[in-house]
Amino acid sequence: MLGEKIAKKRKMMNLSQEELAKRLSVSRSAIAKWESDKGIPDIENLKALSRVLNISIDSLLDNYNADNKELISACNDHFEERDEKIQQFINKKCTAELTAWNDGIFDGYLIAQDSYFLYFLTEKGNKTTVVGIAKKFTTEIKLSSKADKQQIDLLKYNSIGKEFFLGKRVNIALDEKHFWSGLIGKDTEFLNVEIRAFAKNNLVITEGNLLSDITVPIEEVAKIEII
């Protein structure tokens, strides 16, 4: 639920309801209503929550089935506006920030976007590789001024999509990557694995030491990087 997500992120940032309210310029009672699902923040407050809590609007509204048609319409307009803004960065060198502790993209060319991923070309030494990052976990994109080490043929990749990763060795980072991850709890990244298939809303990965394939919900994937 939306309220549960707001409360969880607020507590993770060690903010009281009153402190969050001050940052958003709303009343504490408004925060209490949102967190108890007795009220719904409007689109402007959703944008402010996204910024203050370092979580995308997409993530806040995941699995949220509201009867508030005005909010849904406003959010759809927001996503369309977002995609139009992203399109202005296509074929330009950019830096992109991701939520939580996930590494973003530093000085990579944004070459394509689809409904879920942004696709970048990045340089590692003398090698050019492809990285996909989830829109829903992307908090910022800005132009980079760093000069290229080598000439890159961007047109070669202009029709790229998630199928490009099929059959390739990749590293996959999930959104719940924190500095304490790996010590306890579920896996938060899969290193040097192969994507066997994209099935509905999941991706299927395989690794030589595994007895069977692993299915990962695509909504949890923050980053895919070819190695």
Q: Which fold has domain 90-226?
A: SH3 type barrels. (2.30.30)
Based on its alpha-carbon atoms, the radius of gyration of the chain, rounded to whole angstroms, reads 19
Q: Residue 5: enclosing H or E segment and its boundaries?
A: helix 2-12
Q: Residues 13-17: what's their mean pLDDT? A: 91
Q: Is the pLDDT of residue 195 over 80?
A: yes
> What does the domain layout of the chain look like in residue ranges?
2-85, 90-226
Residue-wise pLDDT tens digits, 68-119? 566 666 666 777 888 888 999 998 999 998 876 567 899 899 999 988 899 9
The CA distance from 8 to 120, in Å, is 31
Read off the pTM: 0.69
Specify whether the CB–CB gap between 105 and 94 falls below 8 A. yes
Greater confidence (147 vs 174) lies with: 174
CB within 8 A of 31, min separation 6: which ones? 6, 10, 17, 20, 21, 24
For residue 225, what pLDDT band results from cuts at 50, 70 and 90?
Answer: very high
Q: Which of 54-63, 151-160, 194-203 has the highest mean pLDDT?
A: 194-203
DSSP assignment, residue 37? Answer: T
Could you tell me which CATH number the domain at 2-85 has?
Answer: 1.10.260.40
pLDDT surpasses 50 at 183: no
Chain centroid offset of residue 11 CA: 21
Q: Sheet of 189-199: strands edge to edge? A: 138-143, 92-98, 105-113, 117-124, 127-134, 221-226, 169-174, 189-199, 202-206, 214-217
